[in-house]
Amino acid sequence: MTIKGKGFGPLMSASGIAALSFGLSVAAPAFAQDLTVWKYGSPASEREYFSRVNDRWPEGNVTWEPGDWESRSQELVIATIAGNLPDVLAIDNTILGSAIETGAIVPLSAIAPDMIETWRANYPDELWSLGVYEGESYGMTTFVDLSPVIIYNGDMFAEAGVSAPTTWSELVEVAAALTTPGRAGIVFAASATTLDADIIGSLLPLNGGRWLDDDGNAAVGGQALEDVFQLVSDLTPYAPEGITDMNFRDALQLFYQSRAAMVVTRSFAPIIQADYEVGPFPSVMIRFPEPDAVSGDFPPATFEAHAPFMFIVTSQANDMALAADYLDYWFDPAQHTGWDGSEVKGRVPAAIDMLNSDGFRAQYPALAADWDAGTLFQNVVSVPSFPQYAEVRRTLTEAIQGVVLEVTSPAEAAQMVETATRSAMAR
Protein backbone atom coordinates (compact mmCIF):
# COMPACT_ATOMS: atom_id res chain seq x y z
CA MET A 1 0.00 0.00 0.00
CA THR A 2 1.26 3.47 -0.87
CA ILE A 3 -0.16 6.80 0.18
CA LYS A 4 0.68 9.74 -2.03
CA GLY A 5 -0.58 13.15 -3.06
CA LYS A 6 -1.73 12.62 -6.64
CA GLY A 7 -5.19 13.79 -7.61
CA PHE A 8 -6.03 16.65 -5.25
CA GLY A 9 -3.54 19.31 -6.33
CA PRO A 10 -4.54 22.81 -5.21
CA LEU A 11 -7.89 21.49 -3.97
CA MET A 12 -6.27 19.81 -0.97
CA SER A 13 -6.86 21.85 2.16
CA ALA A 14 -4.36 22.32 4.96
CA SER A 15 -6.10 19.67 7.03
CA GLY A 16 -6.06 17.28 4.08
CA ILE A 17 -2.32 17.85 3.54
CA ALA A 18 -1.67 17.32 7.24
CA ALA A 19 -3.52 14.03 7.07
CA LEU A 20 -0.93 12.72 4.62
CA SER A 21 1.82 12.86 7.22
CA PHE A 22 0.83 9.63 8.95
CA GLY A 23 1.21 7.55 5.76
CA LEU A 24 3.49 4.56 5.34
CA SER A 25 4.91 3.19 2.10
CA VAL A 26 5.01 -0.55 1.50
CA ALA A 27 6.65 -1.98 -1.60
CA ALA A 28 4.19 -3.80 -3.84
CA PRO A 29 4.87 -7.34 -4.99
CA ALA A 30 6.03 -7.71 -8.58
CA PHE A 31 2.71 -9.19 -9.71
CA ALA A 32 0.57 -6.55 -8.05
CA GLN A 33 -2.07 -4.62 -9.92
CA ASP A 34 -2.50 -0.99 -8.91
CA LEU A 35 -5.79 0.35 -7.59
CA THR A 36 -6.41 3.90 -6.38
CA VAL A 37 -8.79 4.93 -3.60
CA TRP A 38 -9.81 8.30 -2.18
CA LYS A 39 -10.90 8.33 1.44
CA TYR A 40 -12.48 11.30 3.22
CA GLY A 41 -12.40 12.09 6.92
CA SER A 42 -11.62 9.72 9.84
CA PRO A 43 -9.32 10.09 12.84
CA ALA A 44 -5.79 8.68 12.84
CA SER A 45 -6.64 5.32 14.38
CA GLU A 46 -9.18 4.61 11.67
CA ARG A 47 -6.85 5.62 8.86
CA GLU A 48 -4.10 3.43 10.27
CA TYR A 49 -6.44 0.45 10.48
CA PHE A 50 -7.61 1.12 6.92
CA SER A 51 -3.98 1.07 5.77
CA ARG A 52 -3.24 -2.24 7.47
CA VAL A 53 -6.28 -3.95 5.95
CA ASN A 54 -5.40 -2.57 2.51
CA ASP A 55 -1.92 -4.04 2.89
CA ARG A 56 -3.47 -7.50 3.18
CA TRP A 57 -5.50 -7.24 -0.03
CA PRO A 58 -4.22 -10.19 -2.07
CA GLU A 59 -5.12 -8.86 -5.53
CA GLY A 60 -2.73 -5.96 -5.81
CA ASN A 61 -1.31 -2.70 -4.53
CA VAL A 62 -3.67 -0.08 -3.07
CA THR A 63 -2.68 3.55 -3.38
CA TRP A 64 -5.00 5.60 -1.25
CA GLU A 65 -5.24 9.31 -0.65
CA PRO A 66 -6.94 11.11 2.26
CA GLY A 67 -9.10 14.10 1.37
CA ASP A 68 -10.58 16.99 3.29
CA TRP A 69 -14.08 16.22 4.60
CA GLU A 70 -15.51 19.71 4.16
CA SER A 71 -14.49 20.03 0.51
CA ARG A 72 -15.29 16.49 -0.63
CA SER A 73 -18.27 17.43 -2.82
CA GLN A 74 -16.36 20.11 -4.72
CA GLU A 75 -13.30 17.91 -5.17
CA LEU A 76 -15.36 15.12 -6.69
CA VAL A 77 -17.14 17.44 -9.10
CA ILE A 78 -13.88 18.93 -10.37
CA ALA A 79 -12.14 15.56 -10.54
CA THR A 80 -15.04 14.11 -12.52
CA ILE A 81 -14.87 16.91 -15.09
CA ALA A 82 -11.08 16.63 -15.27
CA GLY A 83 -11.20 12.85 -15.70
CA ASN A 84 -9.05 12.47 -12.62
CA LEU A 85 -11.17 10.21 -10.40
CA PRO A 86 -9.63 7.20 -8.64
CA ASP A 87 -10.86 3.64 -9.11
CA VAL A 88 -12.78 3.56 -5.83
CA LEU A 89 -14.16 6.13 -3.40
CA ALA A 90 -14.65 5.67 0.32
CA ILE A 91 -17.27 8.38 0.83
CA ASP A 92 -20.30 9.11 2.96
CA ASN A 93 -23.88 8.79 1.79
CA THR A 94 -24.79 12.47 2.22
CA ILE A 95 -23.09 13.08 -1.13
CA LEU A 96 -24.43 9.95 -2.82
CA GLY A 97 -27.04 11.81 -4.86
CA SER A 98 -24.67 14.51 -6.05
CA ALA A 99 -22.00 11.96 -7.00
CA ILE A 100 -24.58 10.09 -9.09
CA GLU A 101 -25.87 13.28 -10.69
CA THR A 102 -22.38 14.32 -11.81
CA GLY A 103 -21.63 10.85 -13.19
CA ALA A 104 -18.81 10.17 -10.73
CA ILE A 105 -19.93 6.71 -9.62
CA VAL A 106 -21.54 3.55 -11.00
CA PRO A 107 -24.04 1.16 -9.38
CA LEU A 108 -23.07 -2.32 -8.26
CA SER A 109 -25.29 -3.76 -10.99
CA ALA A 110 -22.84 -2.35 -13.56
CA ILE A 111 -19.78 -4.08 -12.12
CA ALA A 112 -20.88 -7.23 -10.28
CA PRO A 113 -24.63 -7.87 -10.54
CA ASP A 114 -24.24 -11.51 -9.50
CA MET A 115 -22.55 -10.53 -6.21
CA ILE A 116 -25.08 -8.03 -4.86
CA GLU A 117 -27.22 -10.49 -2.92
CA THR A 118 -24.16 -12.23 -1.48
CA TRP A 119 -22.82 -8.91 -0.24
CA ARG A 120 -26.21 -7.77 1.00
CA ALA A 121 -26.63 -10.86 3.18
CA ASN A 122 -23.79 -9.65 5.44
CA TYR A 123 -25.70 -6.56 6.59
CA PRO A 124 -29.05 -5.60 8.13
CA ASP A 125 -31.47 -4.50 5.41
CA GLU A 126 -31.87 -1.09 7.04
CA LEU A 127 -28.12 -0.44 6.72
CA TRP A 128 -27.72 -1.86 3.25
CA SER A 129 -30.41 0.58 2.13
CA LEU A 130 -28.12 3.50 3.06
CA GLY A 131 -26.23 2.80 -0.17
CA VAL A 132 -29.36 2.50 -2.30
CA TYR A 133 -30.44 5.43 -4.47
CA GLU A 134 -33.49 5.34 -6.74
CA GLY A 135 -33.56 1.56 -6.59
CA GLU A 136 -29.88 0.97 -7.39
CA SER A 137 -27.28 -0.24 -4.87
CA TYR A 138 -24.01 1.69 -5.02
CA GLY A 139 -22.00 0.49 -2.04
CA MET A 140 -21.86 -0.38 1.61
CA THR A 141 -20.18 1.10 4.65
CA THR A 142 -18.08 -0.63 7.29
CA PHE A 143 -19.85 1.22 10.11
CA VAL A 144 -22.61 3.73 10.78
CA ASP A 145 -22.88 6.77 13.00
CA LEU A 146 -26.27 7.10 14.68
CA SER A 147 -27.70 10.51 15.47
CA PRO A 148 -28.79 12.18 17.61
CA VAL A 149 -27.71 10.85 20.98
CA ILE A 150 -27.24 12.43 24.38
CA ILE A 151 -24.15 11.74 26.44
CA TYR A 152 -24.37 12.80 30.06
CA ASN A 153 -22.02 12.91 33.01
CA GLY A 154 -23.30 10.24 35.39
CA ASP A 155 -21.58 11.75 38.42
CA MET A 156 -23.12 15.16 37.82
CA PHE A 157 -26.56 13.62 37.41
CA ALA A 158 -26.18 11.66 40.65
CA GLU A 159 -24.99 14.70 42.58
CA ALA A 160 -27.91 16.79 41.30
CA GLY A 161 -30.40 13.97 41.94
CA VAL A 162 -31.78 14.06 38.38
CA SER A 163 -32.67 11.20 36.06
CA ALA A 164 -31.95 10.81 32.37
CA PRO A 165 -34.52 12.79 30.35
CA THR A 166 -36.98 10.86 28.20
CA THR A 167 -38.86 13.76 26.53
CA TRP A 168 -37.89 17.07 25.00
CA SER A 169 -39.45 19.04 27.84
CA GLU A 170 -37.59 16.90 30.39
CA LEU A 171 -34.36 17.54 28.50
CA VAL A 172 -34.82 21.29 28.89
CA GLU A 173 -35.69 20.88 32.59
CA VAL A 174 -32.62 18.73 33.26
CA ALA A 175 -30.37 21.15 31.35
CA ALA A 176 -31.68 23.98 33.53
CA ALA A 177 -31.19 21.99 36.74
CA LEU A 178 -27.59 21.12 35.87
CA THR A 179 -26.52 24.61 34.81
CA THR A 180 -24.21 26.32 37.31
CA PRO A 181 -21.99 29.42 37.07
CA GLY A 182 -19.05 27.23 36.06
CA ARG A 183 -20.84 24.57 34.07
CA ALA A 184 -23.22 24.41 31.15
CA GLY A 185 -26.24 22.17 31.53
CA ILE A 186 -25.88 21.09 27.91
CA VAL A 187 -23.65 21.79 24.94
CA PHE A 188 -24.31 21.40 21.23
CA ALA A 189 -22.32 22.61 18.25
CA ALA A 190 -23.70 25.27 15.91
CA SER A 191 -20.75 26.21 13.73
CA ALA A 192 -20.66 26.18 9.93
CA THR A 193 -19.16 22.67 9.94
CA THR A 194 -21.42 20.38 7.94
CA LEU A 195 -21.64 17.75 10.68
CA ASP A 196 -23.00 20.31 13.14
CA ALA A 197 -25.98 21.04 10.89
CA ASP A 198 -26.45 17.33 10.27
CA ILE A 199 -26.63 16.59 13.99
CA ILE A 200 -29.26 19.26 14.65
CA GLY A 201 -31.06 18.26 11.45
CA SER A 202 -31.29 14.68 12.72
CA LEU A 203 -33.82 15.86 15.32
CA LEU A 204 -36.35 16.34 12.53
CA PRO A 205 -37.14 12.65 11.81
CA LEU A 206 -37.60 12.04 15.54
CA ASN A 207 -40.46 14.52 15.34
CA GLY A 208 -42.07 12.87 12.33
CA GLY A 209 -40.52 15.19 9.77
CA ARG A 210 -38.62 14.34 6.59
CA TRP A 211 -36.68 16.30 4.00
CA LEU A 212 -38.38 14.53 1.10
CA ASP A 213 -41.53 12.45 0.81
CA ASP A 214 -41.64 8.96 -0.68
CA ASP A 215 -41.95 10.43 -4.18
CA GLY A 216 -38.86 12.60 -3.84
CA ASN A 217 -40.71 15.87 -3.33
CA ALA A 218 -39.73 18.46 -0.73
CA ALA A 219 -41.51 17.67 2.53
CA VAL A 220 -39.48 19.59 5.10
CA GLY A 221 -41.07 22.45 7.04
CA GLY A 222 -44.19 23.12 9.03
CA GLN A 223 -44.67 22.42 12.71
CA ALA A 224 -42.32 19.45 12.78
CA LEU A 225 -39.34 21.60 11.80
CA GLU A 226 -40.46 24.62 13.83
CA ASP A 227 -40.53 22.41 16.92
CA VAL A 228 -36.91 21.40 16.27
CA PHE A 229 -35.84 25.03 16.18
CA GLN A 230 -37.95 25.72 19.25
CA LEU A 231 -36.03 23.01 21.12
CA VAL A 232 -32.75 24.60 20.00
CA SER A 233 -34.05 27.94 21.31
CA ASP A 234 -35.16 26.39 24.61
CA LEU A 235 -31.77 24.73 25.18
CA THR A 236 -29.61 27.72 24.22
CA PRO A 237 -29.83 29.51 27.64
CA TYR A 238 -28.24 26.45 29.26
CA ALA A 239 -25.46 26.10 26.68
CA PRO A 240 -22.10 27.88 26.86
CA GLU A 241 -21.50 31.10 24.98
CA GLY A 242 -19.87 30.89 21.58
CA ILE A 243 -21.48 27.70 20.31
CA THR A 244 -21.85 29.22 16.83
CA ASP A 245 -18.04 29.10 16.67
CA MET A 246 -17.85 25.65 18.24
CA ASN A 247 -17.82 22.48 16.13
CA PHE A 248 -18.82 18.96 17.21
CA ARG A 249 -15.30 18.18 18.43
CA ASP A 250 -15.18 21.36 20.51
CA ALA A 251 -18.52 20.48 22.08
CA LEU A 252 -17.30 17.01 23.04
CA GLN A 253 -14.06 18.44 24.39
CA LEU A 254 -16.03 20.76 26.65
CA PHE A 255 -18.02 17.78 27.92
CA TYR A 256 -14.89 15.71 28.58
CA GLN A 257 -13.42 18.66 30.46
CA SER A 258 -16.46 18.45 32.80
CA ARG A 259 -17.55 21.93 31.73
CA ALA A 260 -20.89 20.65 30.47
CA ALA A 261 -23.22 18.06 31.97
CA MET A 262 -24.66 16.84 28.65
CA VAL A 263 -23.73 16.98 24.98
CA VAL A 264 -25.83 16.49 21.85
CA THR A 265 -23.81 14.42 19.43
CA ARG A 266 -23.57 11.27 17.35
CA SER A 267 -22.66 7.75 18.41
CA PHE A 268 -19.06 8.40 17.31
CA ALA A 269 -18.25 10.20 20.57
CA PRO A 270 -15.94 7.47 21.97
CA ILE A 271 -13.59 7.79 19.00
CA ILE A 272 -13.16 11.49 19.73
CA GLN A 273 -12.70 10.72 23.43
CA ALA A 274 -9.86 8.38 22.40
CA ASP A 275 -8.39 11.10 20.17
CA TYR A 276 -8.39 13.48 23.12
CA GLU A 277 -6.81 10.74 25.26
CA VAL A 278 -9.47 11.11 27.92
CA GLY A 279 -9.24 8.21 30.35
CA PRO A 280 -12.15 6.55 32.12
CA PHE A 281 -14.95 9.10 32.26
CA PRO A 282 -18.41 8.93 33.88
CA SER A 283 -20.22 9.28 30.56
CA VAL A 284 -23.49 7.56 29.71
CA MET A 285 -24.86 7.43 26.17
CA ILE A 286 -28.63 7.34 25.69
CA ARG A 287 -31.02 7.75 22.80
CA PHE A 288 -32.11 11.32 22.29
CA PRO A 289 -35.36 11.97 24.19
CA GLU A 290 -38.63 11.72 22.30
CA PRO A 291 -40.81 14.75 21.47
CA ASP A 292 -43.59 15.27 23.99
CA ALA A 293 -45.99 15.11 21.04
CA VAL A 294 -44.86 14.22 17.53
CA SER A 295 -45.98 17.00 15.18
CA GLY A 296 -44.81 15.65 11.81
CA ASP A 297 -46.79 13.57 9.33
CA PHE A 298 -44.30 10.69 9.06
CA PRO A 299 -43.57 7.84 11.50
CA PRO A 300 -41.15 9.10 14.17
CA ALA A 301 -37.65 7.69 13.78
CA THR A 302 -35.36 6.52 16.56
CA PHE A 303 -32.13 7.46 14.78
CA GLU A 304 -30.82 8.99 11.62
CA ALA A 305 -28.04 6.78 10.21
CA HIS A 306 -24.97 8.15 8.49
CA ALA A 307 -22.69 5.88 6.42
CA PRO A 308 -19.27 7.62 6.40
CA PHE A 309 -17.09 4.78 5.03
CA MET A 310 -18.99 3.59 1.97
CA PHE A 311 -16.99 1.87 -0.77
CA ILE A 312 -18.17 2.81 -4.27
CA VAL A 313 -16.62 2.28 -7.73
CA THR A 314 -16.14 5.37 -9.88
CA SER A 315 -17.12 5.74 -13.50
CA GLN A 316 -13.45 6.28 -14.37
CA ALA A 317 -12.08 3.08 -12.81
CA ASN A 318 -9.27 1.67 -14.95
CA ASP A 319 -10.30 -1.94 -14.32
CA MET A 320 -13.90 -2.48 -13.24
CA ALA A 321 -13.30 -6.16 -12.47
CA LEU A 322 -10.37 -5.33 -10.21
CA ALA A 323 -12.44 -2.64 -8.46
CA ALA A 324 -15.22 -5.20 -7.94
CA ASP A 325 -12.68 -7.58 -6.40
CA TYR A 326 -11.63 -4.79 -4.02
CA LEU A 327 -15.25 -4.21 -2.98
CA ASP A 328 -15.67 -7.96 -2.49
CA TYR A 329 -12.69 -7.84 -0.13
CA TRP A 330 -14.07 -4.93 1.88
CA PHE A 331 -17.68 -6.14 1.94
CA ASP A 332 -16.47 -9.28 3.75
CA PRO A 333 -17.04 -8.77 7.51
CA ALA A 334 -13.63 -10.37 8.12
CA GLN A 335 -12.09 -6.98 7.22
CA HIS A 336 -14.31 -5.16 9.73
CA THR A 337 -13.12 -6.65 13.00
CA GLY A 338 -11.34 -3.47 14.05
CA TRP A 339 -14.63 -1.59 14.16
CA ASP A 340 -16.00 -3.72 16.99
CA GLY A 341 -13.99 -1.50 19.33
CA SER A 342 -10.82 -3.59 19.35
CA GLU A 343 -8.91 -1.32 16.93
CA VAL A 344 -11.14 1.70 16.40
CA LYS A 345 -13.24 3.14 19.21
CA GLY A 346 -16.60 4.80 18.79
CA ARG A 347 -18.10 3.24 15.68
CA VAL A 348 -21.26 1.18 15.37
CA PRO A 349 -20.26 -1.66 13.02
CA ALA A 350 -22.46 -2.34 10.01
CA ALA A 351 -21.84 -6.05 9.41
CA ILE A 352 -24.10 -8.53 11.19
CA ASP A 353 -21.09 -10.53 12.43
CA MET A 354 -19.66 -7.43 14.10
CA LEU A 355 -22.99 -6.43 15.61
CA ASN A 356 -23.04 -9.86 17.23
CA SER A 357 -19.50 -9.46 18.58
CA ASP A 358 -18.41 -9.14 22.20
CA GLY A 359 -16.54 -5.98 21.28
CA PHE A 360 -19.72 -4.21 20.20
CA ARG A 361 -21.47 -5.29 23.40
CA ALA A 362 -18.62 -3.98 25.52
CA GLN A 363 -18.45 -0.63 23.73
CA TYR A 364 -22.17 0.08 23.30
CA PRO A 365 -24.09 -2.01 25.85
CA ALA A 366 -27.40 -0.16 25.41
CA LEU A 367 -27.25 -0.26 21.61
CA ALA A 368 -26.21 -3.91 21.68
CA ALA A 369 -29.22 -4.72 23.85
CA ASP A 370 -31.45 -3.04 21.26
CA TRP A 371 -29.74 -5.04 18.52
CA ASP A 372 -30.34 -8.29 20.40
CA ALA A 373 -33.98 -7.29 20.82
CA GLY A 374 -34.30 -6.59 17.11
CA THR A 375 -35.13 -2.90 17.60
CA LEU A 376 -31.83 -1.06 17.02
CA PHE A 377 -32.48 -0.24 13.37
CA GLN A 378 -36.23 -0.74 13.39
CA ASN A 379 -37.11 2.92 12.86
CA VAL A 380 -33.85 4.22 11.42
CA VAL A 381 -33.85 6.65 8.49
CA SER A 382 -30.93 7.70 6.32
CA VAL A 383 -29.27 11.07 6.44
CA PRO A 384 -30.37 13.21 3.48
CA SER A 385 -28.57 12.13 0.31
CA PHE A 386 -30.41 14.02 -2.45
CA PRO A 387 -28.17 16.13 -4.73
CA GLN A 388 -29.43 19.49 -3.47
CA TYR A 389 -28.80 18.72 0.19
CA ALA A 390 -25.38 20.41 0.31
CA GLU A 391 -27.01 23.65 -0.81
CA VAL A 392 -29.96 23.30 1.56
CA ARG A 393 -27.66 22.48 4.47
CA ARG A 394 -26.07 25.90 4.19
CA THR A 395 -29.47 27.46 4.84
CA LEU A 396 -30.02 25.03 7.72
CA THR A 397 -26.76 26.24 9.26
CA GLU A 398 -27.82 29.88 8.92
CA ALA A 399 -31.20 29.09 10.48
CA ILE A 400 -29.65 27.27 13.45
CA GLN A 401 -27.23 30.10 14.09
CA GLY A 402 -30.00 32.67 13.78
CA VAL A 403 -32.07 30.89 16.43
CA VAL A 404 -29.09 30.53 18.78
CA LEU A 405 -28.22 34.21 18.40
CA GLU A 406 -31.89 35.16 18.87
CA VAL A 407 -32.11 37.04 15.58
CA THR A 408 -34.39 34.45 13.97
CA SER A 409 -37.51 32.96 15.52
CA PRO A 410 -38.14 29.19 15.30
CA ALA A 411 -41.02 29.85 12.89
CA GLU A 412 -38.85 32.07 10.69
CA ALA A 413 -36.03 29.50 10.74
CA ALA A 414 -38.39 26.72 9.67
CA GLN A 415 -39.73 28.88 6.84
CA MET A 416 -36.20 29.70 5.67
CA VAL A 417 -35.28 26.02 5.38
CA GLU A 418 -38.58 25.04 3.78
CA THR A 419 -38.30 27.78 1.16
CA ALA A 420 -34.68 26.91 0.38
CA THR A 421 -35.48 23.21 0.01
CA ARG A 422 -38.48 23.74 -2.27
CA SER A 423 -36.52 26.21 -4.38
CA ALA A 424 -33.56 23.84 -4.70
CA MET A 425 -35.75 20.86 -5.60
CA ALA A 426 -37.63 22.89 -8.24
CA ARG A 427 -34.50 23.67 -10.26
Q: Tens digit of pLDDT for each residue in 299-348? A: 999 999 999 999 999 999 999 999 999 999 999 999 999 998 888 889 99
Q: Delimit the CATH 3.40.190.10 region(s) of the chain.
A: 9-138+308-382, 146-304+384-426
Residue-level pLDDT at 411: 98
CB-based contacts of 19, cutoff 8 Å, min separation 6: 47, 66, 68
pLDDT for res 33: 79
Flag residues of the chain having pLDDT under 50: 1-31
Sign, CA torsion 67/73/77/78: negative
Class of domain 146-304+384-426: alpha beta
pLDDT at 121: 97
pLDDT at res. 179:
98
Q: What is the pLDDT of residue 283?
A: 94
What's residue 42's pLDDT?
Answer: 86
Whole-model pTM?
0.87
For the domain bounded by 9-138+308-382, which CATH number is listed?
3.40.190.10
Distance separating alpha carbons of residues 196 and 286, to the nearest angstrom: 19
- Looking at residue 427, its pLDDT comes to 80
**pLDDT attached to residue 352:** 97
